[in-house]
Amino acid sequence: MIEKSRILVIDDEVEVVDLLKKRLEKAGYQVVTATDGPQGFKVAVDEKPDLILLDIIMPDVDGLTVLRQLKAQESTSNIPVVMVSAKSMTDSIFEARKYGATDYIIKPFQWDELLKFVKRYLRLYAK
């Protein structure tokens, strides 16, 4: 049996998490989720997903902080992280790249566009 790639979705908007989970599972991926930064970091450490989709703007602990934590942790430092956010400001993109984000996609996005990102980075970073 072929093992499905596991994707972690971290976003404080439950509707976004649910939609991404449904769509990614329908596309054949295993999906784990978190609705805040600390929970997302814990799930990443415990589950070691193949790819992380991480929202930047979240209450309390934002996505950039979680990204820095993920990249500082040996067990999660090599997991590709695609930042997903409504925030399209250049400084956020620069900061995300500086801290090790693999790429950045801006909401609202087309499903096909996100799926291309997912496929590309799962292929490039295959374990």
CATH number reported for the structural domain that contains residue 22 in this entry? 3.40.50.2300
The CA radius of gyration of the chain, in Å to the nearest whole number, is 13
The mean pLDDT of 79-95, rounded to a whole number, is 82
Q: Is the pLDDT of residue 104 over 70?
A: yes
Are the CB atoms for 81 and 70 separated by under 8 Å?
yes
50 lies in a domain?
yes
The mean pLDDT of 35-50, rounded to a whole number, is 97
Q: Which has the higher per-residue pLDDT, 90 or 118?
A: 118
The confidence score (pLDDT) of residue 2 equals 52
> Which residue range forms the structural domain that includes residue 30?
6-124
| Degrees, nearest 5: CA angle 40-74-18 | 20
1 lies in a domain?
no
Q: Is the pTM of this model over 0.85?
A: yes
